[in-house]
Homo-oligomer: A and B are copies of this chain.
Amino acid sequence: DDLTSLLQGLIDAALLRYSKDTIARPDYALFSAGGRVVPSITTDTLVMRRSGAFGRYVLGKKDVEGLPPARALHPDNSVGSCWPFKGDQGQLGVLLSRRAVVGDVTIEHAPSEVAHDVSSAPRNVEVWGLVEGTENKANVAEYLATHPSSESAFPPSPDHLLLANVTYDPSLPNHVQTFPIDPEIVNLGVDVGIVIFRVQSNWGADFTCLYRVRVHGDAV
Contact = CB atoms under 8 A, between A and B. Distances in A.
Interface of A: 4, 7-8, 10-12, 14-16, 18-22, 24-28, 30-34, 36, 38, 40, 52, 54-55, 58-59, 75-76, 78-81, 95, 97-98, 111, 113-116, 132, 173-176, 193, 219
Nearest to A12: B14
A58 to B, nearest CB: 5
Copies per assembly: 3
A169 to B, nearest CB: 15
A79 B26 contact: yes
B95 A55 contact: yes
17 contacts: A10-B11, A14-B15, A15-B18, A16-B173, A19-B176, A21-B78, A21-B111, A21-B114, A24-B114, A25-B113, A30-B79, A31-B80, A32-B78, A33-B78, A54-B95, A55-B95, A98-B116
A219 B25 CA distance: 37
A7 B10 CA distance: 8
